[in-house]
Amino acid sequence: MTLTQRLRAIHTMFYGLATLASMTMATPFAYAADTAQIQPALKHYDVPAGPLATRLNDLARTAGVLLSLDPALTEGKRTNGISGDYALPDAFARLLAGSDVEAVAISGGRYTLKTLPVVPMQRRAELNATTLPEVRVSAAMNNKETAYGPLTGYVAKRSATATKTDTPIIEIPQSISVITRDELDDRGVQGMTEALRYIPGVVVDNFGYEPRGFEYLLMRGFNRTNSANFRDSLHQLTEGLFYSSLS
């Protein structure tokens, strides 16, 4: 190989390496340029609430774009405004939220407004509907509380006292206390005296010369042994001159 041929081969090799290096260095910049085109630039917008047409012009002025619109599309409409960093399409969408109008990009980087497609009310309801999970509710009518039972727990909500009708206690303008079956069982009550022992304003005790004593009933300080002792709405018989059996 002559000297001229060697020099020509070396020149060809360096030229190929230089070309390959330039292609390798240009690739990242081309990729970065493509990425910048894919991701729209964010810009800070601070548009207060007000008439829609005015605020749209404010947004377009801030973004540096031309906006053409039909005044009929924005007549009488208002916007809540926006504040924050958005891409321009998102900024228009947020500013136009609830107006049934959308901003559309046209040639030359300009924007215009058009009415959103009208969705029938039935179809709109279907789109906004949410399917809830199935819920099954069962109840037995024979467990419904009445003044005559059944009742679970210590608190009764109905009574036939005073009105002689099945009435909610809250609607009876008198002080009424109800002792439930659950309370009697939990306290281990054996007689009427024990049953009435915890009624507000009521004192029940034994009195007399006999070891067992006579049972007497005081309601708010007054003796009601004979005058206020009823069973199934019937007055109890008196045992003796002053006392009657509460059992």
- pLDDT tens string 81-131: 999 899 998 999 998 888 888 888 888 888 998 888 765 555 656 656 677
Task: Looking at the structure, tell me whether residues 106 and 157 fall in a common domain.
Answer: no
| Among 15-24, 152-161, 170-179, the least confident range | 15-24
CATH of residue 158: 2.170.130.10
Provide the pLDDT for residue 237.
57
Provide the pLDDT for residue 235.
65
- Please indicate, yes or no, if residue 34 is contained in any of the structural domains: no
Provide the pLDDT for residue 188.
92
Q: pLDDT tens for residues 34-59?
A: 444 556 688 899 999 999 999 999 99
Residue range of the domain that includes 231: 145-244
Query: pTM of the prediction?
Result: 0.36
CB 66 within 8 A of CB 111: yes
Task: Looking at the structure, tell me whether residues 166 and 233 fall in a common domain.
Answer: yes
Task: Looking at the structure, tell me whether residues 111 and 154 fall in a common domain.
Answer: no
Task: Looking at the structure, tell me whether residues 91 and 150 fall in a common domain.
Answer: no
CA geometry: angle 218, 183, 235, nearest 5 deg: 40
Between CA 224 and CA 205 the distance in angstroms is: 12
- Please indicate, yes or no, if residue 186 is contained in any of the structural domains: yes
**What DSSP line would sit under the chain, residue for residue?**
--HHHHHHHHHHHHHHHHHHHHHHHHHHHHHHHHHHHHSPPPEEEEE-SEEHHHHHHHHHHHHT--EE--HHHHTT-EE--EEEEE-HHHHHHHHTTTTTEEEEEEGGGEEEEEEPPPPPHHHHHHHH--PPPP------GGG---TTS---SS---EE-TTTSS-EEGGGSSS------HHHHHHHT--SHHHHTTTSTTEEEEEESSSTT-EEEEEETTEE-TTTS-EETTEEPPEETTTEE---
Residue written as tokens 């003044």? 147
- Please indicate, yes or no, if residue 24 is contained in any of the structural domains: no
Give, to the nearest 10 degrees, the angle between helix 88-95 and helix 52-63: 170
Q: Which residue has the higher pLDDT, 20 or 184?
A: 184
- Please indicate, yes or no, if residue 213 is contained in any of the structural domains: yes
Task: Looking at the structure, tell me whether residues 79 and 158 fall in a common domain.
Answer: no
Between CA 162 and CA 187 the distance in angstroms is: 26
Between CA 225 and CA 236 the distance in angstroms is: 9
Task: Looking at the structure, tell me whether residues 113 and 50 fall in a common domain.
Answer: yes
The count of domains in the chain is 2
Task: Looking at the structure, tell me whether residues 110 and 162 fall in a common domain.
Answer: no
- Please indicate, yes or no, if residue 137 is contained in any of the structural domains: no
- End residue of a domain, out of 118, 133, 159: 118
Task: Looking at the structure, tell me whether residues 114 and 175 fall in a common domain.
Answer: no
- Please indicate, yes or no, if residue 125 is contained in any of the structural domains: no
Q: pLDDT tens for residues 182-225?
A: 999 999 988 877 888 888 888 887 766 655 556 777 788 777 66
- Please indicate, yes or no, if residue 216 is contained in any of the structural domains: yes
- Please indicate, yes or no, if residue 130 is contained in any of the structural domains: no
